[in-house]
Structure 1
Amino acid sequence: MDDSDTSAILPEEFTSPSADEVPDSGSVSPESEVVDTSSCSPVCPGRPLFPCPLPVSVEPVLFLSMFSLALQMPLNTQYLWDRISENVGFNGTKGGGCRNSSGPPDPLEKEVETLTAHWSLYISLAGFAVGLLMVTLLGSWSDRGGRRMVLIVPSVGLALQAGVYLVVMYLRLPVGWLLAGRLLSGLSGDFNAILAGCFAHVADTSDPNNRTFRVAVLEACLGVAGMLASVIGGTWRRSQGYINPFWLVLACNLTAALYAFFLVPESVTPDPSARLFSRQHHQAVLRLLGPRSQGGCGPQLWLYMLCFFLVVTVHFGSRELFVLFELSSPLCWGPELVGFGSAAQHLSYLSSLLGLRLLRRHLDDSWVAVLGLTSNIAALLVISGATTTELMFTGYGLNFLSMASTPVLRSKLSKLVDPSQQGALFASVACVEGLCSLVASGVFNSLYPATLHIFKGFPFLFGAITLLIPASIIGTMRCREMKADHGTS
């Protein structure tokens, strides 16, 4: 890593000028907006109480939050399944896709599946609906009020959710109480607020030329955390049940909140007069994407946002089906191979980070994103027709650059808006990401059973075709930029 990259990653007290912080009357020079950290007291809003000596800033917050989320998500579904099975008197186990049974399906098992799916949907929708309003509020407010609170408050909310889940497990309360924990998390902004705060913080503290790599480092944190949680969660649940893993979830979220409070430097100048509950915050998000956005970049924002939506939807949708595809015929994988497959999926985050680091020395970010989408398309095409273990892992191998496109898109979106709008932008991106999860579940989980008897891998083929749209948009926009540059030169 060269010196410029190292300096961009060090967690100094960076600040960026914020147009929203300047009083309406008169103009203020950019120098007057920067926090003079040299004269800060230890409790100055722009400086953490104990500056971290390591070359990291918000990466541990995102890692811990993602680890706790990835650890608890499969456990939530399994806990619902077990509790509902007890309530309806079902003593069977959920069979794999290769089970050979000529008898009629057990009506109790069908009831358990239906109730589990319904409660999972209720809990997800409750958190998403409440979190959608709060993340836009918190994200836009952070442009004036500061980034650290947008990291601390959601982490505390996720810890409260884990606490409610532990109470439900200890006291064996009805599963409906899990909804209360999810609502508490949603009211604090949920994980999407942490995403928005972390990416906005990196946008504040990074040089535009190095921003794509910094964003890719954050995304690599997501992948590594998800890989570790997927390896640990299943084995731990089988050996010790649900309660101990949820204590770790609680500890991770509290640690993330404490780290953000004590060690993360503030990246914008906090405005004490900034109010949290104000319509102006939601209006700022609407202005951001409106026709009169900063510099007239509204159309470009919408196109890049569309690309981001399509790419992330395909990522989420295909990932939900991989395990089901592997468990069923003709692959019929066991738990060990499924674990190796999950690890191979998450390794694409690290390989994409390395590929992005190397390719950006010779290629523009847009072409790196197109190469990443090409890698993803090739992988989905191979997986759609995979009938052997070797072919399936070949598909995972071709997926090595698939995660290079999303950091490029986040970075391009960040560069299109004013520094004072980074919080509103990444709050919007986080909401789009939450919407992607819902759309991906609905579309891909509907396509799979509908096309099972025609072509089992059709959802993956559909995903590959869908990715041609963002690849075409990104390539076309880059070609137009190159033409414009040649025209002005």
Structure 2
Amino acid sequence: MDESPPGGSSEPEGGGPRSPSAPRCARLRAVEPVLLLATLALGVQNPLLTQYLWARLDNGTAGGEGGGGCGGNGSGSGAPAGQEDLEASVAHWNLYINLAGFFVGLFSVTLFGPWSDHAGRRPVLILPAVGMALQAATYLLVMYLQLPVPYLLLGRILSGLSGDYNLILAGCFAYVADVSDRRARTFRVAILEACLGLAGMAASIIGGQWRKAEGYLAPFWLVFAAGLCAALYAAFCLQESVLQRQQGRLFTLRHYMAVYRLYTAPSRGRTWKKLALYSLAFFLVITVHFGTRDILILYELSSPLCWGSDLIGYGSAAHYLTYLTSLAGLWLLQKCMEDTWVAELGLLSNILGLGVIALAATTPLMFTGYGLLFLSITATPVIRSKLSKLVDETEQGALFAAVACTEGLCSLVATGVFNSLFPASLHFMKGFPFLFGAVVLLFPAAILGWIEIQDSKPEYSHFEDLPSPIQEAAD
């Protein structure tokens, strides 16, 4: 980017586009509450929306106590009559609702992300939080007025137009890149990702128990309030991290070109290959995360598990707990190995966990699969940090816009592939999508390992110039 500090002064240790005379007050520079609130809203909303669709499409009622796929304790060996049709219908509506937001959000994120390099990070945190609140308000209207299910698409589109949750992620990670020390960035990014797990775990327990006690309406009011609080915090409490802000047009192709130039600028040299390979690895990892998460609730609702909303809540909490265990694992393993090999262990943990879940027919085996995922999130903060270190400190906004664009594409592909694969595989192996995800993760593991091996070669290249012992003896 061309917004370098006046007089060519070097960046401060925090590494953001800041003026040398800017105040160093650290008060209200914590972006974590925005991510916590937004993740709380998303964590409550997504499982309950799937259960709401199940109850609505099965019984034609919005406020019933439905949400358990089989009405039993999970001991049944076969699916009730008509359940496969219901599973396919819910999976397809999940697909339609997600596609409605992702098609719009993919372009919104890549527009607002680079714009934040000029306008600041706070606007790109406020806007999507407001959009999430509007989406929850639309869902509440559908439930109160018993509107047809297609009206849910309207709320999803409103959220997508404002950038959706992916823009909040991009803004938060760019904010952390602005204020963090380059040397400690991997762990700082991991802390931010741990916030995802903390909020998601709380949301899963609260959402499942609250829905069981009072139905769907009260939890969705919490979703609305969390989105609104995130917007208010970003607007009135959060200090801006980009202090050299400039006025500029929002609707211009320059913002898209800023993302494009990250990978194509001649000055990049061979760095663009690493950017492309790390982006590909990130795409595959996040696609599997999103895709398997989308169908987990449906997998647990139906036979043979037949979980109710309470067990679904505990299962989601166990899934989100992996963010915290991954943070602890990253902190410990960084003391004895390179970040890349920590990420490789995380991918191995993910592969093993998905393999067990694919074969789970009982509740204990399902929770065993969740337990094996205890390091599964270590790969994403490592890849984000390595991407961040490949670009200049003044290009973090454009970089995380590219990452957000990748995440939006991940959501699109994951929703299309896994929500289509699940109903298609019901007749031969219900857990096949999880097995498919485990196989896909072998590719990013190979990419990360290859880059690390190639990077380690120059460290020993100087030995090639030394004479051999035989030559020394001859001399």
- Partner SS, residue 210 of structure 1: helix
Q: Which amino acid aligns with 1:272?
A: Q
Quickly say closer, same or farther: Cα 1:420–1:102, change in 2 above 3 A.
closer
- Return the alpha-carbon distance in structure 2 between the equivalents of residues 277 and 132 of structure 1: 15
Q: Structure 1 residues 470 and 233 mapped into 2: Cα distance closer, same or farther (>3 Å)? A: same
| Distance across 2 between alignment mates of 1:390 and 1:92 | 25
Give the structure 1 partner of residue 319 of structure 2.
Answer: 345
SS of equivalent residue, structure 1 residue 220: helix
1:20 and 2:19 correspond: no
1:68 aligns with 2:50: no
1:174 Cα offset (Å): 4.2
Task: Tell me the CA shift for residue 132 of structure 1.
Answer: 1.2
1:479 to 453, 460, 473: 453
SS in structure 2 opposite 1:160? Answer: helix
AA aligned to 1:154 is P
Deviation at 1:203, TM superposition (A): 1.0
Q: CA deviation at 1:411?
A: 0.7
Corresponding residue for 2:32? 59
Distance of 1:488 and 1:220 partners within structure 2: 41
SS in structure 2 of the partner of residue 402 of structure 1:
coil
- The 3-state SS of whatever aligns with 1:403 is coil
CA offsets 1:155-206 (integer angstroms, 9 cap, x no match)? 1222222233334444444444433332222221111111100001111111
Aligned to 1:261: 235
Equivalent of residue 105 in structure 1, options 82, 87, 107? 82
Q: Is the CA contact 2:18–2:244 (under 8 Å) kept in the aligned structure 1?
A: no
- The more displaced of 139-148 and 430-439 is 430-439
State the alpha-carbon separation in 1 of the partners of residues 443 and 260 from structure 2: 25
- 1:416 corresponds to 2:416: no
Matched ranges for 1:205-224 at <5 A: 205-224=179-198
The alpha-carbon deviation at position 327 of structure 1 amounts to: 5.1
Would the alpha carbon gap of residues 331 and 272 (structure 1) be closer, same or farther in structure 2, given more than 3 Å must change?
Answer: closer
1:77–1:468 distance in 2 versus 1, CA, 3 Å: closer
**Contact 2:50–2:298 (Cα < 8 Å) also in 1:** no
Q: SS of 2:2's equivalent?
A: helix
**Equivalences for 1:28-43 in 2 at 5 Å?**
28-30=8-10, 34-35=18-19
Distance, in Å, in 2 between the alignment partners of 1:488 and 1:456 is 54
What TM-score comes out, normalization by structure 1 length?
0.82
Amino acid at match of 2:229: T
Aligned counterpart, 1:399: 373
What amino acid sits opposite 2:9 in the alignment?
A: S
Report the counterpart of residue 309 of structure 1 in structure 2. 283
C-alpha distance in 1, partners of 2:158/2:49? 16
Change (3 A) 1:345 1:120: closer
Letter paired with 2:18: V
Matches within 5 A, 1:177-216: 177-216=151-190
Matches within 5 A, 1:374-453: 374-452=348-426
In structure 2, runs of 5+ residues without a counterpart are 464-475
Out of 79, 92, 106, the residue aligned to residue 132 of structure 1 is 106
How far, CA to CA, are the matches of 2:305 and 2:355 in structure 1? 17
Distance, in Å, in 2 between the alignment partners of 1:293 and 1:317 is 36
What is residue 14 of structure 1 aligned with on the other side?
none
Could you tell me how far apart the structure 2 residues matched to 1:471 and 1:304 are? 11
Deviation at 1:324, TM superposition (A): 4.6
Structure-2 change in CA distance of 1:222 and 1:276 (3 Å): same
- Contact 2:283–2:407 under 8 Å retained in 1: yes
Displacement of 1:231 in angstroms is 1.3
> What is the deviation of 1:309?
1.2
Letter in 1 for 2:119: G
Name the residue aligned to 1:10: none
* 1:433/1:35 CA distance change after superposition, 3 Å: same
Q: Cα offset for 1:339?
A: 3.6
Q: CA 1:64–1:98 in structure 2 vs 1: closer, same or farther (change >3 Å)?
A: same
- Matched residue, 2:471: none
| CA distance in 2: counterparts of 1:270 and 1:233, whole angstroms | 41
Change (3 A) 1:37 1:188: farther
**Counterpart code for 2:2:** D
In structure 1, give the amino acid aligned to 2:3.
Answer: E
Matched, 1:469 2:469: no
Deviations 1:25-61 (A, max 9, x none): x964347963356669xxxxxx89xx33xxx611110
Partner Cα distance (2:358, 2:201) in 1? 23
Deviations 1:268-319 (A, max 9, x none): 2343322211110001111112363645421111111111111112222333
In the alignment, residue 377 of structure 1 is paired with which amino acid?
I
- Structure 2 Cα separation of the partners of residues 62 and 258 of structure 1: 13
Quote the offset at 1:416 in angstroms: 1.0
Conserved in 2, the CA contact under 8 Å of 1:192 and 1:427? no
* Whole-Å separation in 2 of the counterparts to 1:102 and 1:152: 45
Q: What is the letter of the counterpart of residue 19 of structure 2?
A: V
**Residues 237-276 of structure 1: pairs in structure 2 closer than 5 A:** 237-276=211-250
**8 Å Cα contact 1:294-1:418 kept in structure 2:** no
**Change over 3 Å in CA distance of 1:22–1:354 after alignment to 2:** closer
User: What amino acid does structure 1 have at the position aligned with 2:35?
Assistant: L
Distance 1:203 1:375 in 2: 27
Paired residues of 2:185 and 2:385 also in contact (CA < 8 A): yes
Assess, with a 3 A threshold, how the Cα gap between structure 1 residues 396 and 75 changes in structure 2: closer, same or farther: closer
> Is 1:368–2:342 an aligned residue pair?
yes
Is the deviation greater in 148-157 or in 115-124? 115-124
> Across the two proteins, how many residue pairs are aligned to each other?
454
TM-score (norm 2): 0.84
Give yes or no for contact 2:95–2:416 (8 Å, CA) kept in 1. Answer: no
Separation in structure 2 between the aligned mates of residue 84 and residue 478 of structure 1, nearest angstrom = 50
RMSD: 3.3
Cα deviation code 1:423-445 (max 9, x no counterpart): 22212212222322332233334
Aligned identity (percent) is 58
Q: Is the 8 A contact 2:422 2:432 kept in 1?
A: yes
